[in-house]
Amino acid sequence: IGGHPKPTQASLKPASVASIIAIGSGKGGVGKSTVSSNLAVALARAGRRVGLLDADIYGPSQPRMMGVSKRPASPDGKIIEPLHAHGVTMMSIGLMLDPDKAVVWRGPMLMGALQQMISQVNWGDLDVLIVDLPPGTGDVQLTLCQKAEPTGAIVVSTPQDVALLDARKAMDMFKTLKTPVLGLIENMSTYVCPECGNEAHIFGHGGVEAEAKKMDLPFLGALPIDLDTRLAGDSGTPVAAGSGPMADAYAQLAERLIK
C-alpha cells in the first residue's frame, strides 16, 4: 500500500487510486471473498481510504457480505456511482446483474465488464482498491494484471492439499504476469470447539505457512474456522467491523499489509 506507480496511457487504473491489491485463490470456497471484505474494512478502520471491487463475476458475494443491494446509479450513463458500506467504497458486478440468473459470458464480455468496473466507477481518492478476483487463473486475472497495474496480489488458501495445489497455480500465474505476490493467508486454519476448547485441524494446519516458506514469500497470517465470521458475512456486517478476536486478527493483518 502507498506505492504510487504512474499509470501508463493504456492503464485502466484511475489516477485517483494509489494502489490496487488483488485477492486471489486457486479454488473457490476457501474464503477469498470473506478475507477481501474483512481486510477492506480493517484497512478502513486503520484510517486508509479503501475501495472494494467484487470482480468474482461468476459468484459475486460482496453485496451480501457488505450488506448492500442497491443498484448503483449512473446519471450520465457513463460514470457509475459506487456504494458505501462500513467505511469502504464498493462496487460489485453482482449489483448490476439479476442475482438469480447464472452468468454465461465469453471472455471479451468479461473483460469489458471488468474494465468498466475499474475505470468507469467514480472511485474517488483511494489509498488502496482491493479486488476480489474469481477463483482460478482465467480472463479476469489476466486483464487485471495486464491492464490495471496491481501493486500486488494476496493468495488465500485453506491448508488442505487440494486447495494448496491450486493456490500454487495461482501464484505461478501471478509470477508469469509479473504481479508480485505480497503474501499468503491461511484461512479455516483451525477449529476450536466452543464447548470443550479442543482444537481440531479440519483441513490440516500449517500447510500455507510451509508453502510460503518454500516459495520465499511472506506468510501474512492464519485465520481459524469461526462461526461469527460466517454469520457476520451472511448478515452483511463483516466480523472486522465489530470487536473481538476476529476483528483483532483482521486489524493485525491490515497492519502487516500497511508496513
| CB distance 29 to 157 below 8 Å | no
Please report how close the Cβ of residue 243 comes to ligand ADP at its closest, in angstroms: 17
C-alpha cell at 18: 494509489
Q: For residues 58 and 120, which CB has a smaller minimum distance to ligand ADP in the complex?
A: 58
- Give the interface with ligand ADP as residue ranges (CB under 6 A): 25, 28-34, 61, 187-188, 223, 225-226, 229-230, 233
Q: For residues 126 and 225, which CB has a smaller minimum distance to ligand ADP in the complex?
A: 225
- Known binding positions: 26-33
Q: Which residue has the cell 464480455?
A: 109
- Known binding positions for ATP: 26-33
Q: For residues 16 and 69, which CB has a smaller minimum distance to ligand ADP in the complex?
A: 69
Mapped onto helix, strand or coil, the DSSP state of residue 215 is coil
Please report how close the Cβ of residue 135 comes to ligand ADP at its closest, in angstroms: 6
Please report how close the Cβ of residue 157 comes to ligand ADP at its closest, in angstroms: 9
Please report how close the Cβ of residue 226 comes to ligand ADP at its closest, in angstroms: 4
C-alpha cell at 28: 473457490
DSSP assignments along 21-75, one per residue: EEEE-SSTTSSHHHHHHHHHHHHHHTT--EEEEE--TTS--HHHHHT--PPPP-T
Q: For residues 28 and 87, which CB has a smaller minimum distance to ligand ADP in the complex?
A: 28
Paired residues of 20 in beta bridges: 129
| CB distance 140 to 133 below 8 Å | yes
